[in-house]
Structure 1
Amino acid sequence: MLTVALPKGRIAKETLEIFETIFGDSFKFDDRKLILDTPNFRFLLVRNQDVATYVYHQAADIGVVGLDTLEEQGLDVIRLLDLRRGICKVSIGMKKGEKLDFDKPDLKVASKMVNITKRYFEERAVSVDIIKLYGSIELAPIIGLADMIVDVVETGTTMKQNGLEVVQDIMTSSTYLIANKNSYIAKKDEVLDIYEKINEIIKAEQNV
């Protein structure tokens, strides 16, 4: 029996569809329930930010989570497979028409992704003041709280609607299948079996 942590929303739906394709069964959570038990799996529905934590602490053996979240949290889990879903970018956004100037003193950056932001600017030896926000990040440059933002961008529409534009991409993110290190040893056959079955589907999709 493998315990699988899934993030609520679209990624959980897409992952369960993969399992349905593999096993030919229906995998659906009952209304408002957070646990789905099947003969071979127990699925847990958790917040996206908590998936890697569940896996890291072995409350789940495997999980599905965005690479951006993994990079931000830095938890020691095994990255098994890129599922090629939920593709987006982590990008720097500024007010339309403004240019990215690393030489400008006292740069302020608003983001909920503090670690990714810190690493990016440290690698370029640029000193910045990072302001952690939990939402409505696009407001920060407009009202003068920050010079720029670092945020997840799928289409860029939200930025455009708020008078911002992408000036630099930091990384591309997609959904990853991850595993707990101890589970990978203790349940290696089960973990590798599901890894191989999912990998076959991903490969088949790429060849269409």
Structure 2
Amino acid sequence: MPKGRIFEEAVSLLRQAGYDLPPEFDDSRKLILDVPKANMRFILSKPMDVPTYVEHGVADVGVAGKDVMIEEKRDVYEVLDLKISACYMAVAALPSYDSKADIAPKIATKYPKLAAGYFREQGEQVEIIKLNGSIELAPLVGLADRIVDIVSTGRTLKENGLVETETMMPITSRFIVNPVSYRMKAGQIDDMIERLARVVEGGSGQ
């Protein structure tokens, strides 16, 4: 699982689904957390790395944002929309930016593949610049004309003087499975999927 908000919301889902996760679990700074009672081991990583761990079988299952799934294109099964950590992908720029006057705009983003695919579908030729953090800085210092990034409340854009120009797609976190693990541990994984699905759909996980 990713650290941070997704982890907190996914742990809440698992508890509702009947998994006995200890209270101190939430505050731990460890990267590997063993929960013998639930017969589970949790690996905490950067969001972009979750599908990689699952693809290589280090983890049987994982929780990853749809944005990461599109960007990484890993060989995993996406089996359930957990409907947590809801946000959306958007294009933003300075209020003074004139898209009609720009022939080949520069787009800064953490998601080069996703952004390239989107603008290709729009029939717009752009130059993609990959950054790893503080995407909002790019238009402010003249590195890029627009940015593509995740938006939750829009507060970060507003505080940096940027405005949203296009809404691209909604993003939620997904439950993903390693294909080999699914064959080897089908019963256990299917049970987990069913329990989580009942919680997501508003029923009891028990």
TM-score over 0.5 (shorter chain): yes
Large movers: runs of 4+ above 6 Å: none
Work out whether 1:26 is the aligned partner of 2:21: yes
Q: CA deviation at 1:141?
A: 1.4
Find the counterpart in structure 2 of residue 41 from structure 1: 40
Structure 1: 5+ residue stretches without partners: 1-5
Q: CA deviation at 1:59?
A: 0.3
Alignment length (residue pairs): 199
Q: What is the alpha-carbon distance in structure 1 between the residues aligned to residue 60 and residue 19 of structure 2? A: 22
Find the counterpart in structure 2 of residue 52 from structure 1: 51
Work out whether 1:11 is the aligned partner of 2:9: no
Q: Is the partner of 1:149 in helix, strand or coil? A: strand
Deviations, residues 121-164 of structure 1 (Å, cap 9, x unaligned): 11223211111111111121122211100011101111111111
Structure 2 residue corresponding to 1:165, chosen from 157, 163, 166: 163
Work out whether 1:94 is the aligned partner of 2:93: yes
Q: Is the partner of 1:46 in helix, strand or coil? A: coil
1:54, 1:60 within 8 Å by CA — same for their partners in 2? Answer: yes
Q: What is the alpha-carbon distance in structure 2 between the residues aligned to residue 25 and residue 185 of structure 1? A: 25
Percent identical residues:
40
Structure 2: 5+ residue stretches without partners: none
2:65, 2:172 within 8 Å by CA — same for their partners in 1? Answer: yes
Matches within 5 A, 1:169-180: 169-180=167-178
Q: Label 1:100 to 1:172 Cα distance change in 2 as closer, same or farther (>3 A).
A: farther
Matches within 5 A, 1:18-167: 18-23=13-18, 25-27=20-22, 28=25, 31-39=28-36, 40-101=39-100, 104-167=102-165
CA-based RMSD? 1.7
Q: What is the alpha-carbon distance in structure 2 between the residues aligned to residue 29 and residue 112 of structure 1? A: 28
Q: CA deviation at 1:107?
A: 1.2
2:9, 2:85 within 8 Å by CA — same for their partners in 1? Answer: no
Find the counterpart in structure 2 of residue 3 from structure 1: none
1:140, 1:146 within 8 Å by CA — same for their partners in 2? Answer: yes
Q: What is the alpha-carbon distance in structure 1 between the residues aligned to residue 188 and residue 47 of structure 2? A: 24
Answer with 14-23 or 134-143: which moved more: 14-23
Q: CA deviation at 1:25?
A: 2.2
Q: Label 1:81 to 1:161 Cα distance change in 2 as closer, same or farther (>3 A).
A: same
Q: What is the alpha-carbon distance in structure 2 between the residues aligned to residue 124 and residue 47 of structure 1? A: 30
1:99, 1:167 within 8 Å by CA — same for their partners in 2? Answer: no
Q: What is the alpha-carbon distance in structure 2 between the residues aligned to residue 99 and residue 86 of structure 1? A: 32
Q: What is the alpha-carbon distance in structure 1 between the residues aligned to residue 163 and residue 42 of structure 2? A: 38
